Amino acid sequence: MKIQAIQTIAKVNFSRFKPQSNKGFYESYFIRGNHPSEKKAFWIRYTVFAPKDRPQENMGELWFVYFDGNKIYPAKQEFPIEMCKFPRKHFFVELGANFINSAQAQGQIEEISWKLNYTSAADPIFLLPQNLYIGPFPKAKSIVSQPFARFGGYLKMGNQKINIENWVGSQNHNWGEQHTDWYAWGQVAGFDNSPATFLEVVTAKLNIKGVETPFLTILVLHHNEKKYQLNQINQWFTNKGSFDYFDWTFECQTKEIQLKGRIKASANDFVGLRYLNPSGGSKNCLNSKVASCELEIRETNQSGMPQALFSEHKCAFELLTNEGQEHHGIKINF
């Protein structure tokens, strides 16, 4: 990897957390990886939560979920902010004895523990136009700091040890003053029939000064050694997308490319997690890392039939909602 790329990875992972601020803030660093062939995946998240006007209640949160077929193993632990470090000039986040940096992640929650290493030769992927990462809009920011991260190491759950070898996923960095009001988020780090293709897509509704927007869709695709950034603000409104529990379709088009996609999973593939909102209250995150994705691609400079890409069970699929178990059937943990 070039030195310039290493510096870029470090910079996008610098913490934005200001401990003395009263505005309210969250920031998370998460890694996810999928088994090369089986329906297995992990998701691990290191987070700081700072409620608005109550900096004395700032804390760290450590999350772990392992997906094994249709069995899901979630865990969470909270830490006093005094036990946490979120450096602003280098990337080495600590929650007690647990840590994540640009090459390793270690941690333990009761009988669950992990020791992972990872590498990536890909440049960061910016879901938003880069000028929007500075300033108040939108209130939630997201970067894929290390796409196509390749993981090794192990997970332990009680007496069970899971060896991680050549699992592929990503390392990601999210932050903001409040969570997006309602969204579906998807990510594929290599399709089954196109391992070098990376997809990052969101369909969301925002509440701007009391007015709810229609569904807005943002998409970034790296395919055939080209980067397609369908994420400019004017495209948010022309890109199409809609979702329910648990099926999502989207469609985007430019002069260079036409895309149609579908992401779906069964209810058994989701775990329900409660995300505290810095501005007050909480959101329910329905989280799967073993969803399926179908993507039809027509590049204008390519003749012939559209390309049909698929991922049987390596797609990340999250839904953020205010609705409870009575609406979607997923138990909300923690």
297 — phi, psi (to 5°)?
Answer: -125, 130
Dihedral sign for Cα atoms in the order 156, 159, 164, 168: negative
Which spans in the chain are helix H?
Answer: 3-12, 233-238, 325-328
Asked whether residue 1 carries a pLDDT value surpassing 70, the answer given is: no
- Provide the pLDDT confidence category of residue 8 given band limits of 50, 70 and 90: low
Rounded Cα gap, residues 295 and 317, in angstroms: 14
Is residue 55 helix, strand or coil? helix
Q: Looking at residue 2, what is its pLDDT?
A: 42
Query: What is the Cβ-side half-sphere exposure of residue 270, based on CA atoms within 13 angstroms?
Result: 23
Count Cβ atoms within 10 A of the Cβ of residue 35 and give its class: 0-12 exposed, 13-18 middle, 19 or more buried. buried
pLDDT, mean over the chain: 94
Q: What percent of the chain has pLDDT over 70?
A: 96
Asked whether residue 150 carries a pLDDT value surpassing 70, the answer given is: yes
Asked whether residue 4 carries a pLDDT value surpassing 80, the answer given is: no
Assign residue 250 a region (left: φ > 0; alpha: ψ between -120 and 50; beta: otherwise). Answer: beta
Rounded Cα gap, residues 248 and 219, in angstroms: 14
Q: Looking at residue 10, what is its pLDDT?
A: 65
Largest pairwise CA distance in the chain: 61
**Which of 5-9, 100-104, 176-180, 252-256 is modeled with the greatest confidence?**
100-104
Query: What is the Cβ-side half-sphere exposure of residue 208, based on CA atoms within 13 angstroms?
Result: 10
Q: Looking at residue 307, what is its pLDDT?
A: 94
159 — phi, psi (to 5°)?
Answer: -85, -5
pTM for the model stands at 0.95
- Provide the pLDDT confidence category of residue 286 given band limits of 50, 70 and 90: very high
Q: Looking at residue 134, what is its pLDDT?
A: 86
Count CB-CB contacts under 10 A for residue 150: 17
Query: What is the Cβ-side half-sphere exposure of residue 295, based on CA atoms within 13 angstroms?
Result: 31
pLDDT, tens digit, for every residue of 11-70? 899 999 999 899 999 999 999 999 999 999 999 999 999 999 999 999 999 999 999 998
CB 39 within 8 A of CB 67: yes
Domain that holds residue 158: 3-333
- Provide the pLDDT confidence category of residue 111 given band limits of 50, 70 and 90: very high
CATH number for the domain harbouring residue 37: 2.40.370.10
Total structural domains in the chain? 1
**DSSP-derived secondary structure for 209-253:** TTEE---EEEEEEEETTEEEEE-SHHHHHHSEEEEETTEEEEEEE
Q: Looking at residue 199, what is its pLDDT?
A: 98
Rounded Cα gap, residues 281 and 64, in angstroms: 22
pLDDT, tens digit, for every residue of 69-82? 989 999 999 999 99
